[in-house]
Structure 1
């Protein structure tokens, strides 16, 4: 299974200056539970944006797309080679270019949609169809409103 997982604001923003412009603990919990035990695949900038204490992400096989080896992760020069190296589930976790490249081969997409909009410089790809499952709006402990969307 090849999955894509991200959180996005109502205006499609997924990042600003290399970080997520919000704090949503419920999304982090959903991410941990969904990706636990699987491989996670990310671009070099996403890898570098992870706080050092969480790099590599525990309980997951960490794969990074980069032309230069990345300490603590398996490094691959392109998406095709990275996906070929995984025999089990793999979750693509960013950034935007990696999402767009992996979208045509994705079996499943998990999106945490945030009702509020945020300023940002990185946007989610267009999935191109309606989700198969749409959760109810919930209020985060931080006051933001979110719901989970699933394709596949």
Structure 2
């Protein structure tokens, strides 16, 4: 087998193995690794046996076909099941009840080192401090609420 034919065979085999990995058995498995190794082997063989021109041609072909697969796979029925094409509009964001806790006072149920649980208005809330250690039972005040992160500080007497 001539080196040119071997380069083409390795390149085609590698791309087929990569396509099988993506479309049939998704994951980073042995088939994908073998496909990647075959493509790299084809490029290296073309570079060494056929010269820099054919090496660049094999590299360009591999990059173009891989780019084409990245473009085409999400548009196939299998790809639509694997890739999210639109931004999700719904879902849970920060709890609006947490934002209402800003400035409220409570009592540490557990030691805060720096994370723990505080009771505020008869409700247990997971909180953090700004690096301070706070004993259980210490009165605290909610300093800020950042998304789902409630920051407390010991209450000043």
Report TM bin, short chain: under 0.3
TM-score normalized with structure 2 length: 0.19
TM-score normalized with structure 1 length: 0.19
Question: Relative contact order (alpha carbons < 8 A, sep ≥ 6): 1 or 2 greater?
Answer: 1
Report the structure number with the largest CA radius of gyration.
Answer: 2
